[in-house]
Amino acid sequence: MKLKLPIIILFALMASFTACSQGPATSQKDPWTQAQLLNPADLAKTINDVHAPQPFIFCIGPQAVIKNSIYIGPTMEKANLDSFKAQLEKLPKDASIVIYCGCCPFSRCPNIRPAFDLLNKMQFKNHKLLNLPQNVKVDWIDKGYPVED
Amino acid sequence: MNKVYYIIFLPFLFYSMSLVGQTIGTEIGNRAPEIRLPSPAGDTIALSSLKGKMVLLDFWATWCAPCAKEQPELAELYEKYKNAGFTKGKGFEIYGVSMDSKKANWESMINKVGMDWIQVSDLKFWSSPVAKLYNLQELPFNLLIDGNGIILAKNLHGEELQKELAKYLSGK
């Protein structure tokens, strides 16, 4: 009878430990700030305005969808991240750069974080992540924004 | 007087019910829109060619982690039910539509998991006209369709999907 209480406490501790160990996956800090998220409507407006200065738009996901974007490929793969780095080395640090993937919701996209980390590490000053929280279909194509032919 | 009322009213009711079944759309009770896309071998396979069977229309992609995780479960489901008799169809087929863009990735996963059901794709990623036709919001997404092409259930996974399918077993 006496033994029961410690066992209950042990189970309670184990349960709370399990709950805590699941925590960091969701609370992990993203490498971009709120100000570094670019509104899709703003980018669409820029692309549609032939007189506006155009940013370098890099597709770091499975396929280029957005008009005038440069295809790199999924940056979860080292080869693609390396080729992204090689392209970035040719650009000045103050270049206007936009990256997008759009495969999946931000929470589980495997490509945006390695690419954004690289831009931070290379000390670019004017780089943004296109804010496609759901995917490139819902947040870009369905809105009628400019796409690749 | 009541009898006369029913005689007039019932045919109208059945007629309107049949019209609901004819509505092409992606809601439960709608007729699933036609899809005609190529398999990895290049031959076009129409969704309508599966008429008479229970069909799981599965939208997936190799780059979608939850989709990749689900495929081995679908392989088990397929093995278990492919020759089963259902009240709304004879046999069970999966019509897998991939939103991939690279054929090599697509084929490699099919072979690795042993997904030996129907696989089609236009390899156009989210630009695929089928994504628009089915108003896809995210992956994975699926529809359970009966032998007449009518949608029975929407976006069920794991145990829920298995239970839904088992509901229609005829025991024959």
- Report helix angle B158-167 to B65-81, nearest 10: 30
Q: pLDDT tens, B55-88?
A: 999 999 999 999 999 999 999 999 999 999 999 9
CB of B59 closer than 8 Å to CB of B21: no
Q: Which of A135, A139, A147 would best serve as a mutation to test chain B binding (most B beta carbons within 10 A)?
A: A135
Residue A147 has pLDDT above 60, yes or no: yes
User: What pLDDT is stored for residue A23 in this prediction?
Assistant: 36
Q: Which of A80, A137, A145 would best serve as a mutation to test chain B binding (most B beta carbons within 10 A)?
A: A137
Q: What is chain A's Cα-based Rg?
A: 21
CB pair distance less than 8 Å for B63 and A134 = no
Question: Quick one: tokens of B85?
Answer: 């008799």
CA distance B37 to B46: 7
State the nearest Cα–Cα gap between B79 and chain A, in angstroms.
Answer: 29
Counting other chains too, the contacts that B159-163 makes at CB distance below 8 Å and 24 or more residues apart are: B161/B56, B161/B77, B162/B77
CB-based contacts of B146, cutoff 8 Å, min separation 6: B54, B55, B86, B88, B89, B152, B168
User: What pLDDT is stored for residue A4 in this prediction?
Assistant: 59
User: What pLDDT is stored for residue A5 in this prediction?
Assistant: 53
CB of B161 closer than 8 Å to CB of B42: no
Mean pLDDT of chain A: 88
Which of A65, A105, A148 is closest, CB to CB, to B138? A105
State the nearest Cα–Cα gap between A57 and chain B, in angstroms.
Answer: 18
| Higher per-residue pLDDT: B107 or A27 | B107
State the nearest Cα–Cα gap between B94 and chain A, in angstroms.
Answer: 23
ipTM for this model: 0.84
Token pair 């290049």 in the structure block, residue: B42
CA distance A119 to A79: 16
Which residue in chain A has the smallest CA separation from B131? A137
State the nearest Cα–Cα gap between A10 and chain B, in angstroms.
Answer: 32
Domains of chain A, each with CATH number or no CATH: 26-143 (3.40.250.10)
User: What pLDDT is stored for residue B13 in this prediction?
Assistant: 57
CB pair distance less than 8 Å for B61 and A103 = yes
Question: Quick one: tokens of A24?
Answer: 């960091």
The 10 Å Cβ neighbour count of residue B83 is 9
Q: pLDDT tens, A65-115?
A: 999 999 999 999 999 999 999 999 999 999 999 999 999 999 999 999 999
> Which amino acid, one-letter code, is at A67?
K
User: What pLDDT is stored for residue B84 in this prediction?
Assistant: 96
Q: Where are any strands of DSSP class E within B17-145? A: 36-38, 44-46, 54-60, 85-86, 89-90, 92-98, 118-120, 141-145
- Of B127, B117, B131, B119, which is closest to residue B38 (Cα–Cα)? B119
Residue A14 has pLDDT above 70, yes or no: no
**Looking at A26-30, A96-100, A131-135, which range is the least confident one?**
A26-30
User: What pLDDT is stored for residue B108 in this prediction?
Assistant: 97
Residue ranges for chain B with pLDDT beneath 50: 21
